[in-house]
Each structure stands twice: as structure tokens, then as C-alpha cells.
Structure 1
Amino acid sequence: MMGPVLAACLLIILSTAWISQANEALCKKDGGVCSCNNNKNSVDCSSKKLTAIPSNIPADTKKLVLNYNKLRELEPTAFHGLKELTYLDLDGNKLQTLPEGVFDQLVNLNKLYLHENKLESLPPKIFDKLTKLTLLYLYENELQSLPHGVFDKLTELKTLSLFNNQLKRVPEGAFNSLEKLTRLQLQSNPWDCSCRDILYLRNWIREKQGNVSNIEAAECAVGNKAVLDITEKDAASDCVSPNTTTAIPTSTTTPASVIYDDIHEIKVPQENFQKFLGYQEPDHLPTQPQCLMSISGYLGLMMSLMLTSAAILYVFHFLKKA
């Protein structure tokens, strides 16, 4: 009776091994593109030319690094299921927008790096679920405005970096909820000091001066005068504030760098690639590491199927003889 039992056990072992391989194909040791440290629940997918976020990131991942890839957009469900995540790095990509709700399940997130992208605007409430966030980097983007209340839920935030954007003003009360803030970088923005609504920022800087570092570095776009030093006479104009939830394009000319990138990343229908790679709606041809990961997974699947078939034939053969 040991023959059928052994064969059944073999089937279970092979099935478990195949499932494990499918789940871990993300990591280099299994033919994937990312480096994984299971002891630290860390996944590093930096500088892999990824155009989409892998769909098989382990649910217990705490640190996820996706910087310096070619991500242009994120799926709304890109990080769903990653409730243990405390560290997320997306800097150095080509993100122009963020979908509403993309961070909603990251309730334990502590650090979020979104700098060095091409973000022109932020959706309202995009950070509302990140109540444990202590660090938020948004510098070196193309933000032209901020939605009302976009930082209101970030009561634990200590560091906020907004320098090197296109901000002319911030909404009334933009920083009022950030009571634990110790560092705020506002420099290298074209602050419009001729409009009355800049007075909120001036008053806030004066109140927090000495308690929040770097805020004195904010300067007016005209005259090189510090926002801290402007007077009511300077800000006498009753300017009409732009839409604070939608960015206004400053140019309709396509940069040469974008044209160059698109020549090398020709868009094609991707339905088959999506099913084959297990990625979330890639919008470009798969890169070499992605193809290697896919081939490795395919060969592993075929080997598992062959071994499973052999085990089944062995069971039938033994039962026939019995």
C-alpha cells in the first residue's frame, strides 16, 4: 500500500513547489527581476526599466523600492493587499498623475518617496488613509497647485518636501493640521507675492519660524524677496486662484526626451503580454528582464507538469498491477 501513498505525497509536493515558484518568481533567485530579502520583508526593484509594477509582490512586504524605472502611470489597485508596507519609494520615474485611492490600503506606511517624477497635480484625498506617514517627498515634480485639505490627515508628518515645483500659492489652511512638522522645504517655487492669498503662507511661516526648519527659504518669483518679508501692500492684488485640483499645462510642445523614449518603447496591444507576464496592464513592450522572468516561469511550469504527469502514470500503473 506504500506505492499509492508515496505517489499521492509526490503529487502534493510537486503542486506545492509549483505554486511556490509561481508566487516567488518576482525574486532574482527564482528567475525574477527584483532582489528580495525575506528576513527583512524587503523587495528591491530599482533600476529595472519596469513599465508596470509586478503583480506578485508578497503581502507581508514592508519595504518596496521601485525607483528609477520607467513607470508612467499606476493602476488604482497597484498596492492593494500590501497592508504591511511601511516604506514605498517611487522616485525617479515618469509619473504624471496618481489615481485616486492608489494608497488607500497602505495604512501602516511611514515613508513615501514621490520625488523626481513629472506630477503636475494631486487628486483630492490622495493621502487621507496614510495617517502614520512621517515623511513625504514631493520635490522636483511639476506641481502647479495643491488640492484643498490634501495634507489634513497627515497629523504624524514630520518632513514634507515640496521644493523645485511650480507652486505659486497654497490653499488657505494647507499646513494647519501638520502639528508635528519639523522640516518643510518650499524653496525653488515661483511664489506669487502680488496676490492676497499668499498672506496665509507668510503668516504660517512667521508663526512656525524657529520650530520648522527651511521655511524661511521660500522666495517670491519676482524681486527675490522672502515670502516671510512680504507686506499687505506687496500682496494687494485680489488674484483669481486657479483650479486647485487640476494642473494647467504650461506648454503643448512635446519634449524631445519624450519623443526619444517613445521611439524606444513602441506601444503595442498588451493583452497577451499581461497574461503571460502576470503584470498589471503594462503599456509598453516587455523589457529583457521581464522576458527572462517569463521564460523561467514557463519552463518551471512545464517541468512541474511533466513530473506531475509521470506521478499520475505511476499511480495508474501500480493500481493496474494490484
Structure 2
Amino acid sequence: MMGPVLAACLLIILSTAWISQANGATCKKDGGVCTCNDQTKNVDCSSKGLTAIPSNIPVDTDRLELDYNKLSSLPSKAFQSFTKLTFLSLNNNQLQTLPPGVFDHLVTLETLGLSNNQLKSLPPGIFDKLTKLTDLQLDQNKLQSLPHGVFDKLTNLKELWLRNNQLQSVPRGTFDSLSSISSIELLGNPWDCTCNDILYMAKWLKKKQDEGLGGVDTAGCEEGGKAVLEITEEEAAEDCVYPNTTTAIPTTIITTLASSNDDDIPELPVPQENFQKFLGYQEPDHLPTQPQCLMSISGYLGLMMFFVLISAAILYVIHFLKKA
């Protein structure tokens, strides 16, 4: 009686081992380097020196780790087949940009890691399809700004990591849809607390601190070290002008100048060298030196004297012939 039972058990064990090994081979075939676990549907491609995402990753993967590689860009359709992913980590790579729609098919994703990359900006709507996301890691990048409404669809987000970027402020309403947020990291950014754009974040942080949100007091102003949530309207009274912003001439000035008479416009002294630069004037590469100028003038005078003498000689000859 025990013989067939033992044989069946042994067959099941061997089949499970073969399936697990076969799934591992799915990742390893065609030169693949990732490690697969059939039991948990996990695929680990971290620390492999990858410059591109492997093409032989099983489509039913639940957890995909791509940390510590050399990924500098992503194809727009890089993850379109992985509709069952709940965890995606791209931390510690060299990503400089994200193509629009790259995460649109990851509708079940709960954790997205983008820490320690080179991201300077985010495309509008980049996270709009990730409505189940609970953990978003954007720390240790070079983000200089956030697009309007970038977190509007993330109503289930609990943890948001934005520390150690280059943010000076956030657009009004950026955090309003984060109804489930329990932790937010904002420290290590050069928050400009003299600019009135900071007032939205200051008021939001103050409200969340009163509600018991952790970590909100870690966001400090670039100057003075004061907490952002303590900034008042009097302190942040300046209009915001950042390096990449073009300052336009006020319309009132243009209208005044256009309607004024020429006699009413005061004459402003302009240094000659500045005026020449304004007109795009440039000095010739090789101007004649003083001796060269003198030589040119003396040569010109000598030539003129030569023609005068020749003319006088011709007139003298003609006058002599007439007398003869």
C-alpha cells in the first residue's frame, strides 16, 4: 500500500523541482542573468550591470527588482506586459528621464522605487494609472520641479519620498489628493521660504502635523533653517523668480513708452563700449599699428606728389612746344 503512495509523493516532489528549475531557465535562457522564484513570482535582476531591461522576464512576475544597474533610459513600452506587477524597483540606476506612459500598464502596482537616479523632471501624468500605489520613492534625484497634478490619482498612497532633490517649491494643490498619506519625506531640498509659492506647502504641512502626520517638520528653509510649516505670509512675500524663468517687461511700461513723445523720453547716457556690444559690434582681429598707419599715409602722399610732378612736366613740355 505504501509503495504507490511513496511513488506518487516522489513524483510530485520531482515535478515541483522541475517546474521551479524550468522557470529559472526561463530567466536564464538567451543569455539572461536574472534569478527567478516560481513560488513567489519574484524576479531579481539587481546588481547585474544591466544597460537594458532583459526581454525574457516571465509576464506573470509579481515582484521585479532592477536595482544597482546602469539603466540610463527606459523604452516607453518597457513594462507593458507586466500587468500583474505589485512591486517594481529601479533604485540606484542612472535614469535621466522617464518616457510618458511607461508605467501605464502597471495597474496593480503598489510599490515603485525610483530613488538614487538622475531625474531632473517628471512627465505630466506619469503616475495617473497607478491608482493602487501605496509607496512612491523619488528621493536622491535632481528634481527641480513637479508637474501640476502629478499625484492627483494616488489616493491610496501612504508613503512619499522626495528628500534630497532640488525642489524650491511645489505647485498649489500638489498634495491635496493624498488622502491616505501617513509619511512624507521632504528634507534635503532648497525650499525657498522667501517666495510666496511656498505658502501652499507650509499650510498643508501645518495641517498634516496637527493631524499627526510623521516627518513633516523635517522640511527646512534653505536660508535660516526655519521649518517650512512655520513660514508666514509676511516672510514669504516675494514673487517667485527662478533661474529658468524669463522675466517679461511689464505691459504698463511698454504702453507708457509707446504713447510718450520723443521729447518726453529722457536721454540716458550709454557707454560707447556697451552700445557697441548691444549692436553686436566687434573689433577687427588685426587693426593697423601706428607705424603702419604712418607708412600708409606717407605712401599715399608720395604717390600724389608723383602725379603732380608728372602733370607739371607734361604741361611744361606742351607750353615749350607751343612757343617753338
With normalisation by structure 1, the TM-score equals: 0.67
Alpha-carbon offset, residue 240 of structure 1? 3.8
Alpha-carbon offset, residue 38 of structure 1? 0.9
1:13-92 paired onto structure 2 within 5 Å: 27-28=27-28, 32-92=32-92
User: In the alignment, does 2:137 pair up with 1:142?
Assistant: no
Cα distance change of structure 1 residues 241 and 173 upon mapping to structure 2, 3 Å threshold: farther
- 1:43 is paired with a residue whose SS is strand
- 2:152 is paired with a residue whose SS is coil
CA distance in 1: counterparts of 2:56 and 2:148, whole angstroms:
35
1:210-229 paired onto structure 2 within 5 Å: 210-229=211-230
CA distance in 2: counterparts of 1:155 and 1:242, whole angstroms:
33
Cα distance change of structure 1 residues 29 and 59 upon mapping to structure 2, 3 Å threshold: closer
Aligned to 2:112: 112
Cα distance change of structure 1 residues 134 and 105 upon mapping to structure 2, 3 Å threshold: same
Aligned to 2:234: 233
Aligned to 2:203: 203
The 8 Å contact of residues 186 and 218 in structure 1, kept in 2 or not, is answered as: yes
Aligned to 1:174: 174
CA distance in 2: counterparts of 1:179 and 1:113, whole angstroms:
21
Alpha-carbon offset, residue 232 of structure 1? 1.1
- Give the RMSD, CA atoms, in angstroms: 2.0
Amino acid at match of 1:48: K
CA distance in 2: counterparts of 1:29 and 1:41, whole angstroms:
17
The 8 Å contact of residues 26 and 33 in structure 1, kept in 2 or not, is answered as: no
Alpha-carbon offset, residue 32 of structure 1? 2.7
CA distance in 2: counterparts of 1:36 and 1:207, whole angstroms:
45
- 2:121 is paired with a residue whose SS is coil
Alpha-carbon offset, residue 228 of structure 1? 1.2
CA distance in 1: counterparts of 2:81 and 2:144, whole angstroms:
32
- 2:197 is paired with a residue whose SS is helix
Amino acid at match of 2:156: E
Cα distance change of structure 1 residues 73 and 157 upon mapping to structure 2, 3 Å threshold: same
Deviations 1:142-187 (A, max 9, x none): 0000000000000000000000000000000000000000000000
Alpha-carbon offset, residue 26 of structure 1? 5.1
- 2:36 is paired with a residue whose SS is strand
Amino acid at match of 2:116: E
Which stretch of the first structure deviates more once superposed, 232-241 or 131-140? 232-241
- 1:112 is paired with a residue whose SS is strand
- 2:91 is paired with a residue whose SS is coil
Structure 2: any 5+ residue segments left out of the alignment?
1-20, 246-324
Deviations 1:42-95 (A, max 9, x none): 100000000000122211100000000000000000001100000000000000
CA distance in 2: counterparts of 1:184 and 1:243, whole angstroms:
27
Amino acid at match of 1:71: L
- 1:27 is paired with a residue whose SS is helix
1:251-290 paired onto structure 2 within 5 Å: none
CA distance in 2: counterparts of 1:104 and 1:147, whole angstroms:
17
Aligned to 1:155: 155
Deviations 1:97-122 (A, max 9, x none): 10000000000000000001111000
Alpha-carbon offset, residue 233 of structure 1? 1.3
Structure 1: any 5+ residue segments left out of the alignment?
1-19, 245-322
CA distance in 2: counterparts of 1:180 and 1:218, whole angstroms:
20
With normalisation by structure 2, the TM-score equals: 0.66
Identity rate of aligned residues, in percent? Answer: 60
1:239-250 paired onto structure 2 within 5 Å: 239-240=240-241
The 8 Å contact of residues 24 and 35 in structure 2, kept in 1 or not, is answered as: no
Larger radius of gyration: 2
Alpha-carbon offset, residue 211 of structure 1? 2.6
CA distance in 2: counterparts of 1:105 and 1:187, whole angstroms:
31
The 8 Å contact of residues 79 and 106 in structure 1, kept in 2 or not, is answered as: yes
- 1:223 is paired with a residue whose SS is coil
Deviations 1:228-268 (A, max 9, x none): 11111110101146779xxxxxxxxxxxxxxxxxxxxxxxx
CA distance in 1: counterparts of 2:151 and 2:228, whole angstroms:
21
Amino acid at match of 1:228: L
CA distance in 1: counterparts of 2:199 and 2:27, whole angstroms:
51
- 1:103 is paired with a residue whose SS is coil
CA distance in 1: counterparts of 2:224 and 2:191, whole angstroms:
11
The 8 Å contact of residues 65 and 90 in structure 2, kept in 1 or not, is answered as: yes
The 8 Å contact of residues 121 and 145 in structure 2, kept in 1 or not, is answered as: yes
Amino acid at match of 2:143: L
Amino acid at match of 1:47: S
The 8 Å contact of residues 24 and 56 in structure 1, kept in 2 or not, is answered as: no
CA distance in 1: counterparts of 2:26 and 2:50, whole angstroms:
12
- 2:64 is paired with a residue whose SS is strand
The 8 Å contact of residues 168 and 192 in structure 2, kept in 1 or not, is answered as: yes
